Amino acid sequence: MKKPLLFIVGISFFFISCKEKIAKSENKIHTKIESELNFIEIEQKNKDENYIVLDSVTNSWITSLENISKKDKRFKIKLKISENDHDSRVMDTIRTMTFDKTEITTYSTDSYYGIWTADIKNAEFPLWEYIGVGMKKYELEKTLAEGMNNDTIQIGNLEKTSVF
């Protein structure tokens, strides 16, 4: 009679301790998520006043720049072809395109094409219908529904991997 009773008591302790471990690990996960969210909020409060996070606009501009760099015939093109640092079978192409005060540099391989840098100073290259080079400060503030302390701003994604 003692053995089955000890067995049942042992299993009960096992299940109780498992539930406590699960509850503790769930609590740790919730605490970690809350601390990360608090960090993001703090980071947003301390963000540079010149930097505005607009992921959708950034993605749209990248696509626009890629289209301009592939199709616009007004640019003078300078190519630099070199062996890829990571894979000697792949050739990298760096294309620098200039027109008036605007310069766009692209990077491409056999399977990738992307904008490396872009310095757009000509208003005739529309990147987005609502924001453009040379627009008035009050128009930009109205479009963004946000006041600005500076004459120059940066717009980019949250990770700051693409910044305009």
Tens of pLDDT, residues 133-161: 888 888 878 877 777 777 777 878 888 87
Question: What pLDDT, in 10s, does the model give residues 100-141?
Answer: 988 989 999 888 888 888 888 888 876 677 777 888 888 878
Based on the fold, state whether residues 117 and 73 are members of the same structural domain: yes
Indicate if 77 and 137 belong to the same structural domain.
yes
Which 3 state secondary structure label does DSSP give 26? helix
Q: Is residue 162 situated within a structural domain?
A: no
Could you tell me the two tokens for 43?
A: 């980071």
Range of the domain at 18: 1-46
- pLDDT tens sequence across 7-22: 665 666 555 655 555 5
- CB-CB neighbours of 10 under 10 Å: 10
In angstroms, the Cα distances linking 117 to 56, 107, 140 are 19, 9, 23
The pLDDT of residue 117: 85
Residue 123 lies in a domain: yes
Q: In the numeric block, which tokens belong to residue 62?
A: 């990248």
Predicted confidence at residue 42, as pLDDT, reads 41
pLDDT in tens, 67-96: 888 888 889 999 999 998 888 888 999 999
User: What residues have CB less than 8 Å from 110, skipping those under 6 apart?
Assistant: 90, 91
**Same domain, yes or no, for 111 and 152?**
yes
Q: Tokens in use for 64?
A: 């626009």
Is residue 163 domain-resident? no
Alpha carbon 15 to its chain's center: 45
Q: How many domains does the chain have?
A: 2
28 CA to centre of own chain: 28
Helix (H) or strand (E) holding 116: strand 113-119
Per-residue pLDDT at 45 exceeds 50: no
